[in-house]
Amino acid sequence: MLENHPSISLDGSQKLAKHNEDIANNFLIVASASVAGVKTILSFNRKTMASDKMIEVYNKVNKIKGYRTPTFIKTVDGLRELL
């Protein structure tokens, strides 16, 4: 019942818009890091930003543009290795 209340839940188009905005923000973050020469990005967000498919896209775009994609640390163990 509550999920149908407009002030409590997002309808499908709002959820899609939010998802697309999140993905666009992820691209901006990784693009900025690539241009700045950042070597490593820490992200436990393996559903979007640090997913294998997204990293593949970052690599393709950066190859075309002449940038290096930062290495992603996606786990606590990976963070421990860095420290």
In a domain, 2, yes or no: no
Residues 6+ away with beta carbon under 8 Å from 59: 69
> What would the mean pLDDT of 1-12 be, rounded to a whole number?
54
pLDDT digits (tens, 9 = 90+) for 25-65: 999 999 999 999 999 999 987 778 899 999 999 999 999 99
Which pTM does this prediction carry?
0.74
| Count of domains for the chain | 1
Instruction: List the domain range (segments joined by +) for residue 31.
Output: 11-82
In a domain, 5, yes or no: no
Nearest by Cα to 28 from 56, 53, 49: 49
pLDDT value at residue 45? 78
pLDDT value at residue 39? 96
Position 2 pLDDT exceeds 50? no
